[in-house]
Amino acid sequence: MPLRIFNNLSSQIAQNRLSSHNDNLGKAIGTVASGERVKNSSDDGASLAISESLRSDARAFRQGARNLQDGLSLINNVAEGGLTVIAEILIRTRELASQASTGTIGDTERQTLQLEFEAQKQEINRITNTNEFLGQKLLDGSLSSSAAGDDVIIHIGLDSRTENRINLNETLNLQATTTTGLGIEDLDISTADGAKEALVRLQQAVGDLSGARARVGATQNRLTRAIQNLGVNIENLTAAASTIRDADVAEEVTGLTKQLLLVQTSSAMVGQSNLIPEGVLLLLQ
């Protein structure tokens, strides 16, 4: 290569290479430090777009799983608890009606049994009217399929299609569990005939309540299975996004070592090329 005084082309070339290798070294350090192969659109625009879409879907499914957990809390902690207590009250009222229907007690004893019988009915109404979850009434008929107003819907999917929602009104169809709803509001066991009629209607009320509890249990199982399914979807989406976006640490460390060597070599070459013009001085001696 010709010796030049004003323009040291060899030095410029070495410096350009050094600058390029320094940039690559910085990227390699950033990749190893972050663990991500794709951090912005300049790294790989297509991969970034795909991975962001996958991450967005996974986040939506995670929120859907939380929505389902809230639905389970509504059913487990409130609705099921209220229905269980009402079922126990109905069992006690049947016991009172059976006792009042026997001929071995008199009218005075039946009047005493009627006092507790009426108190138990009032407690059924109190539980029904106070049973709620975050302001949402549960046992007053608000969760029946024919209830007026907005249905209680759990959103679990990526969009608003019907298959991505669970309508608790349709699934549970909980009729009002007041004494009126159960058909026992006018029962009176102060007489033997009244006690006998109460036994028949209380048996029907117990059957209706058992059916409601069965639907609650079925809905609990459905929500649990839906949570499990979302968990699998989240796992698969996260794995797919990781495959696209995350760095292969072993490969990146190898690349980092390579860039370090190139930077060191380029630095040495810059130093050597800067000495080339000194050859001109030797010619002048």
pLDDT at 24: 73
Q: Report the amino acid identity of residue 184.
A: I
Q: What is the pTM of this model?
A: 0.74
CA distance 64 to 171: 18
pLDDT at 277: 66
pLDDT at 29: 75
pLDDT at 27: 75
Q: Give domain limits for the chain.
A: 9-35+247-284, 43-245
Task: Divide the 285 residues of the chain into consecutive groups of 10 and give the mean pLDDT of each group.
Answer: 60 80 74 70 76 90 94 83 92 95 91 96 94 88 86 90 91 93 94 94 95 92 94 92 75 77 81 68 59
pLDDT at 37: 74
Which CATH architecture group holds 43-245?
Answer: Up-down Bundle (1.20)
pLDDT at 42: 65
